[in-house]
Amino acid sequence: MHQDFLPPGIAVLTGAGVSKESGIDTFRDAGGLWTRVNLEEVATIEAWYRDKKKVLDFYNDTRRMFRATHIAPNAAHAALARLEQEYDGEVTIITQNIDLLHEQAGSRRVIHMHGRDGEVRCMHCQKVFESDDDLTPASVCPNCISVGELRPNIVWFGEMPMHLEEIYQVLERCGLFLSIGTSGEVYPAAGFVLHVRRHAARARTVELNLEATDNKTLFHEHIYGPATEIVPAYVARVLARGWRD
Ligand code: APR
């Protein structure tokens, strides 16, 4: 079918809240990761140059946590995979999460704007590799043989998020923008709803979150509750009768 005849796309921004009920902590809620760990010691380029072992150990532990047997996609991930399979138009997940739970649930169009688990990058030659091995300051780049230059392929504070050009194209052609499980405190993701309002003026914007965020007023509709309850119900509603009131 020619693209002109497809229904408008659905752009879904997800954050840590969508994976919370899978057993992965959020960042800013009470008890969240950044309330327990000083992000400046593990999630900045300065931290990496200051103490590579500390930064690499933190991400080695994170990767092991993601691979623990009790971590699995939940009903919200499954509902978004169902939406992609059953909706006639394009459904794109833009996730801030580095876990792979959307893919494990069956979603295929997933953009990891903050990088993803299972990839490392060489700071010397910039080549990206699939790897599940622990990194140490003695790790050797398989491409350029530099020592101690491999890091997780994850966007740290102060670094540019990935795939932004593609993301803005998806936002500008969407008819529905969903923001799920994100506090809206970290840019540029926090600004996506405003970008949709300005550049896809007819699009509907919906916030699905445990509680209201500071971006609340930019959404046409708000649905509050645990993602495993509200996302499957909303997806069922969209598939049954669309997103207009
Ligand atoms: N269901 C739905 N929403 C939830 C749930 C749940 N079960 N539990 C928590 N939430 C909501 C919280 O209310 C909060 O608004 O998820 C949001 C999580 O916010 P943050 O912890 O700030 O996570 P996120 O928005 O993904 O952070 C963005 O910050 O540190 C960086 O790179 C990191 O990608 C991350 C980015």
Q: Would the CB of 226 count as within 6 Å of ligand 1? A: yes
Q: Output the CA 17–ligand 1 centroid distance in Å.
A: 4
Q: Output the CA 32–ligand 1 centroid distance in Å.
A: 9
Task: Check whether 192 has a pLDDT greater than 80.
Answer: yes
Q: How far is CA 228 from CA 19, 107, 243, in A?
A: 9, 16, 19
* For range 14-43, the mean pLDDT: 94
User: In this predicted model, what pLDDT tens digit does every residue of 62-105 receive, in sequence order?
Assistant: 999 999 989 999 999 999 999 999 999 999 999 999 999 999 99
Q: Are 202 and 41 in contact (CB under 8 A)?
A: no
Q: Would the CB of 223 count as within 6 Å of ligand 1? A: no
Catalytic center residues: 114
* For range 198-225, the mean pLDDT: 96
Q: Would the CB of 152 count as within 6 Å of ligand 1? A: no
What pLDDT does residue 4 have? Answer: 61
What pLDDT does residue 2 have? Answer: 54
Q: Would the CB of 26 count as within 6 Å of ligand 1? A: yes
User: In this predicted model, what pLDDT tens digit does every residue of 147-182 receive, in sequence order?
Assistant: 999 999 999 999 999 999 999 999 999 999 999 999
What pLDDT does residue 117 have? Answer: 95
What pLDDT does residue 5 have? Answer: 75
Query: In ligand 1, which atom is closest to the CA atom of 182?
Result: 25
What pLDDT does residue 6 have? Answer: 81
Q: Choose one of 44, 102, 182, 215 to mutate for the ligand 1 pocket test, by most ligand atoms within 8 angstroms of C-beta.
A: 182
What pLDDT does residue 142 have? Answer: 96
Q: Choose one of 14, 18, 19, 20 to mutate for the ligand 1 pocket test, by most ligand atoms within 8 angstroms of C-beta.
A: 20
User: In this predicted model, what pLDDT tens digit does every residue of 134-144 receive, in sequence order?
Assistant: 999 999 999 99
Q: Would the CB of 220 count as within 6 Å of ligand 1? A: no
